[in-house]
Amino acid sequence: MILACDLGTSYLKSALIDLSGRRCFFTNILLKRPEPRLWLKAFKCLCAGISPRLKKDILALSLCAHGPSLVPVSSSGQALYRIIFWKESLKAKNREGLKSFFLAGIKDFFRQNPALKAKTAFLLAPAEYLAFILTGEKATSVPHADYIPYYWERAELNTLGLDPALFPAFIFCHQPVGEVSRKAGLEFGIAPGLKVFCGGPDFLMALLGTGTITPGLVNDRGGSSEAFNTCSTRPQSQPGLRCLPSFKQGLYNLSSLIPEAGSVLSLLKNWLWGRRTAWEDFNKQILTSLGPAIGVFYPVKELKQGRLTRASLLHSFYGRSRFYPDRADMVKAFFEYLAYCLKHYLDELDMLKLSYKEIRVCGGLAKNPLLCQIKADISGKPVILYNNNPEAELFGLALIAWHGLGLINSYEEALLDWLKPGKVYCPQASYANLYAERYRLYRNRIEEER
């Protein structure tokens, strides 16, 4: 079996997945914040929770994390800082206009922390940092060579005055970073000698795990942020869409991002239901509210800029008394907004004449049946949770490890056996006219902001 681990923004998600794609173990460990010390603590907790019977069947480890995030590491192998977080890296990239998604964030970090710059011996993405702790080997994992310019190349390193020695050599994700050392095996309670793979950014592993690596499909992955992705045979240029290489070399991925989607929902739940309310209970309670929302949600400027406060959240709701809010109606209004964002993305694909037959959902937001149904109703396309399992990135991680071990011939072949349609949300026409009118208003708001 493969031990697959995703170092998320909020959780360490892990599973044991066998060669048939069967998940034999799963755990979800809360992370108070994205920080190396907490990753190692959570990973040790994970390993302690796997029974000796299951541990003996583990053949390899496979890791991924959010990106473009980096950990500055000292010459002694110690993490020097919590993390250069992906949100800061993206803001800096947009400001500097570089091809690399990492370098502008590093430049900002070093400018703000000159003492840490002097101590930094190398920089590792979060999954590669955990792999380094386990194996003692440094590497940067990418799907294929087309991704390298989006990480770093010498021309942009020279432009920013960054030392190339800070950046470990590239390997491809089906190649192992190394093997678990004897020291790490004793510390974490796993067998030494196991190969360790890194899948790179979690979104790529989710695309692989949902089979969204060929044209004709849309992936909607919702966690702390929400992203829409599809595969194209050629590069595309469209305002509001980001075009990058796909997981498979020679194809391209078109994406759109809602940076704070899951974070806003978490703030809503904690504010209106209380922090102690479990997500399962929250999902059940809002299901009792029938029909479209009475109010409307559209994020104010502060919320779009990432300032998540009760005030910015409250000011994003329209049509309801702020003194007597209906909790379920407010959540539904927010869900409808997310569905309008998805519909907008699909309209952009239509303009590019890119076809798609279904929307494959994964991530924490895919656990909410009401949200999935609203997305189906507003988009007019079936929304499918394959294998009834939202942690698709763990399946992607298992696939690259099995491929790296030489036990599967191709990803497409394995996916035919692994992927089974689970819960299917079919579009309902009952409120099509109302949703169409509200979507028109949503598009008008976007045009007004341009």
Q: What is the pLDDT of residues 61-88, one digit of tens each?
A: 999 998 898 999 999 999 998 888 777 7
Average pLDDT over the chain reads 92
Which region among 23-32, 49-58, 313-322 has the lowest average model confidence (pLDDT)?
313-322
CA 250, 251, 256, 259 dihedral sign is negative
Residue 19 lies in a domain: yes
Rounded CA separation 17/208 (Å):
15
Cβ atoms of 150 and 99 closer than 8 Å: yes
Cβ atoms of 331 and 369 closer than 8 Å: no
Predicted confidence (pLDDT) at residue 448 exceeds the cutoff of 90: no
- The residue that leads in pLDDT, 412 or 319, is 412
pLDDT digits (tens, 9 = 90+) for 424-438: 999 998 999 999 999
Residue 410 lies in a domain: no
Cβ atoms of 426 and 43 closer than 8 Å: no
Predicted confidence (pLDDT) at residue 155 exceeds the cutoff of 70: yes
Give pLDDT, residue 363: 92
Write the CB contacts of 438 (distance below 8 Å, at least 6 apart in sequence).
292, 296, 336, 340
pTM of the model: 0.92
Mean pLDDT of 357-382: 94
Give pLDDT, residue 304: 80
Structure tokens belonging to residue 181: 């050392």
CA 103, 106, 111, 114 dihedral sign is negative
Predicted confidence (pLDDT) at residue 139 exceeds the cutoff of 60: yes
What are the Cα distances from residue 385, in Å, to 211, 360, 429?
A: 12, 6, 21
Rounded CA separation 57/396 (Å):
19
Residue 408 lies in a domain: no
Here the CATH number for the domain that contains residue 197 is 3.30.420.40
Residue 114 lies in a domain: yes
Predicted confidence (pLDDT) at residue 325 exceeds the cutoff of 70: no
User: What band does 323 get if pLDDT is binned at 50, 70 and 90?
Assistant: very low
Give pLDDT, residue 321: 52
Residue 332 lies in a domain: no
Residue 198 lies in a domain: yes
Q: Which domain holds residue 178?
A: 2-203
Integer Rg of the chain from CA: 22
- Specify the residue for token string 């980096």: 70
Omega of the bond leading into 215 within 30 degrees of 0 (cis) = no
Give pLDDT, residue 260: 85
Structure tokens belonging to residue 291: 């029909």
When mean pLDDT is compared over 90-99, 133-142, 288-297, the highest value belongs to 133-142
Residue 450 lies in a domain: no
Residue 185 lies in a domain: yes
CA angle 223, 227, 231 (to 5 degrees): 135
Q: What percent of the chain has pLDDT over 90?
A: 72
Looking at the structure of the chain, the number of domains it has is 1
Cβ atoms of 218 and 207 closer than 8 Å: no
pLDDT digits (tens, 9 = 90+) for 40-53: 999 999 999 999 99
